[in-house]
Structure 1
Amino acid sequence: MRVCIGWRRLLLLLPVIFLFPHIISVLQLHKDSTIEHQHQKLTKKFDHLVFGPAAGEGLHDRLQCQGTKALNKTHFPSSPRNSNYGDGISFVTVFTTYNSTADSFIKSRSSEQVSVGKMSYNKVERSMAVLNVFVNFLERNRVTLYPIKGEYSRDKLMLQRIRSYIVFLEQKLEEQSQLQGRISHYIFTDSDVAVVDDLGQIFKDYPLFDLALTFRNNKEQPLNSGFIAVRGSRSGIQRAKVFLQEVLEVYSSKYMKASRMLGDQLALAWVVKSHPSFNTKRFTRQQPFEEKIGGASVLFLPCATYNWTPPEGAGQFHGMPLDVKVVHFKGSRKRLMLESWNFLNSSPSPHISDMLCLILSSGRTKYDF
């Protein structure tokens, strides 16, 4: 009788034992699908601006916003057309167009349309739109093209950019004799930046530096290559050229595996940090400082002011400093750059502070660029 009861219990448990692995599989499948869904939500690209609370609320030295209206107006001019960048400063960017006939990936995607406001762009046109907005923010009437031969493939682009900077500076050294005492300073930037305030002041406030770099509190990549200023004196151009040649040599010998994206920033950091007297703790403070690196006097400027990136990067979650001068629309923020320019132009009484509120409230989102 006891044996019989034991077998009955065993027979009752058999379906449960049989179903248990299937229940675990279903639960695991549900868990995986939930994770995948969450991942898709995080990586989904939006075709419109997505607004959230503006970072830095309540902080006295940060921009305060109510929607897209700035509550504490900054010192920025009411329109970029009134900005005074100074006649002696030239902004330089390296730009290359897609070769859609040679690149099958670009060719297959070149017909994909993305709309921003009333304009629609394919893959190739998007990069041109960003370049046009870059120029519009500078309010320059004159644009000069310098065709520089080199290797502009995607995996060598950052390496070639340093080479192009060096070639450009060599050309300017040759032209020095024709300037007859006039000095023109140079600021190399990425084309996905918006210059929103006068940058000429740095050459007046810091009259001794040869070149300037922007830094952030990031142990592995403390320097961002998207902003490099060069004093236009003959000695400044010469020393900046030699400095960049050393960066290029380090890049080519140590960081070719990172040549597609980060090699230039890693090489910049190596050249600076390898200097015996350099104190890397200075990168943790948001204060400009000067240091002799090799034969060049290098001015280090905080990214928070001179190379600020909308929320998604290190140190950006505390809002936007009131003295920000350059906004860098890195990565997936290209749509935000175009939307910001459209917003500024469509406002009946445009003010850069209000546009900055638009940028600040629309962070941490991946868009369709």
Structure 2
Amino acid sequence: MAILDIFVNFIQVSMPRSNVIILTDPASQFSMEKSSTTVLPIQGDYSRGNLMLQRIMSYITFLEQRLKEHPERLKCINHYIFTDSDIALVGNLGQIFEKYHDFHLALTFRNNKDQPLNSGFIAVRGTSDGILRAKAFLQEVLEVYSTKYMKASRMLGDQLALAWVVKSHLTFATKKFSRPEAFSGDINGKLVLFLPCLIYNWTPPEGAGQFHGMPLDVQVVHFKGSRKRLMLESWNLFNSTSNLSDMLCLILGSGRTKYDF
């Protein structure tokens, strides 16, 4: 809950006009007493071994609910970004939809042969067409996940399924993944934007020998695994100083330390 609380705090600092919707298991029975933050229970199997599969199913259910909203409400476009809760937004991600006009959904990539796509960040354009096509894309990923990667369902199945869908349709993608530059492609009529993890899903280094610096224009910091303690320390520092540069320096310096959590 401390991580989730800080997750919302960073969003409210970096994107104060946004609404935070927490998708969760109805059995979790918790509430968030924060402005512009709601908890949305979605039925499903949230057991540990099924969690990554259920996450994609929950995203699909959420998008289906948006499509069922009154047509007049959909005229007021609200874009959506699905993320893990162990991230800190340090930039306004609304600029993605302003800078890149022709995409239905966006994924983040890295130079990793087997897992080039990280599922911890998925952006969806909030038009009816964008929501519909993003849902169709995720349904294709879900089908591949269910038929090919259930043995990896506990952790990596979603990322392996994402990579399979993308690579099977975009033969040039593998070469593009080695360069930290945004690109796009058409996957069965779904326009997918690929954003570099280096900027939009950057993970702090961990442990001696992993000190490689930080991009100056990083927008999203992803505190994976044992780095969650660093997320707590980062927010405490920012909360005491309101200085984003000092906070990023703390994260950068963490490359000399291994965080055990």
TM-score by length of structure 1 reads 0.63
- Which secondary structure does the structure 2 equivalent of 1:342 belong to? helix
2:184 corresponds to 1:290:
yes
CA shift in 2, pair 1:212/1:80, >3 Å: closer
Higher RCO, Cα 8 Å, sep 6+: 1
Which residue type is aligned with residue 362 of structure 1? S
8 Å CA contact 2:22, 2:38 repeated in 1:
no
Could you tell me which residue of structure 1 aligns to residue 161 of structure 2?
Answer: 267
2:79 corresponds to 1:185:
yes
Could you tell me which residue of structure 1 aligns to residue 244 of structure 2?
Answer: 352
Could you tell me which residue of structure 2 aligns to residue 168 of structure 1?
Answer: 62
CA distance in structure 2 between the partners assigned to 1:97 and 1:199 by the alignment: 29
Which residue type is aligned with residue 252 of structure 2? L
8 Å CA contact 2:104, 2:124 repeated in 1:
yes
Q: Rg: which structure is higher?
A: 1
- Which secondary structure does the structure 2 equivalent of 1:290 belong to? strand
After superposition, residues 236-247 of structure 1 pair within 5 angstroms as: 236-247=130-141
8 Å CA contact 2:23, 2:39 repeated in 1:
no
Could you tell me which residue of structure 1 aligns to residue 6 of structure 2?
Answer: none
CA shift in 2, pair 1:176/1:356, >3 Å: farther
8 Å CA contact 2:166, 2:173 repeated in 1:
no
8 Å CA contact 1:93, 1:191 repeated in 2:
no
Could you tell me which residue of structure 1 aligns to residue 100 of structure 2?
Answer: 206
CA distance in structure 2 between the partners assigned to 1:328 and 1:339 by the alignment: 14
Could you tell me which residue of structure 2 aligns to residue 40 of structure 1?
Answer: none
- Which secondary structure does the structure 2 equivalent of 1:175 belong to? coil
CA distance in structure 1 between the partners assigned to 2:158 and 2:233 by the alignment: 29
Aligned residues: 249
CA shift in 2, pair 1:93/1:213, >3 Å: farther
Single out whichever of 334-343 and 232-241 deviates more from structure 2. 334-343
Could you tell me which residue of structure 1 aligns to residue 7 of structure 2?
Answer: none
Could you tell me which residue of structure 1 aligns to residue 223 of structure 2?
Answer: 329
Could you tell me which residue of structure 1 aligns to residue 88 of structure 2?
Answer: 194
After superposition, residues 1-369 of structure 1 pair within 5 angstroms as: 83=14, 85=15, 87=17, 90-95=19-24, 141-179=35-73, 181-275=75-169, 277-312=171-206, 317-347=211-241, 350-363=242-255, 365-369=257-261
Which residue type is aligned with residue 151 of structure 1? D
Superposed displacement of residue 94, structure 1 = 4.0
8 Å CA contact 2:103, 2:125 repeated in 1:
yes
Unpaired segments of 5 or more residues in structure 1? Answer: 1-78, 100-127
CA RMSD of aligned residues (A): 2.6
Superposed displacement of residue 218, structure 1 = 0.4
- Which secondary structure does the structure 2 equivalent of 1:227 belong to? strand
CA distance in structure 2 between the partners assigned to 1:172 and 1:337 by the alignment: 31
CA shift in 2, pair 1:94/1:81, >3 Å: closer
- Which secondary structure does the structure 2 equivalent of 1:144 belong to? strand
8 Å CA contact 1:90, 1:186 repeated in 2:
no
Superposed displacement of residue 280, structure 1 = 1.1
Could you tell me which residue of structure 2 aligns to residue 59 of structure 1?
Answer: none
Superposed displacement of residue 368, structure 1 = 4.5
Render the CA deviation track for 1:50-96: whole Å, top value 9, x for unaligned.
Answer: xxxxxxxxxxxxxxxxxxxxxxxxxxxxx98664x374x55555445
Which residue type is aligned with residue 359 of structure 1? I
Percent sequence identity over aligned pairs: 66
8 Å CA contact 2:23, 2:41 repeated in 1:
no
Which residue type is aligned with residue 355 of structure 1? M
- Which secondary structure does the structure 2 equivalent of 1:252 belong to? helix
TM-score by length of structure 2 reads 0.87
Render the CA deviation track for 1:335-368: whole Å, top value 9, x for unaligned.
Answer: 1111111111122xx2111101111111364434
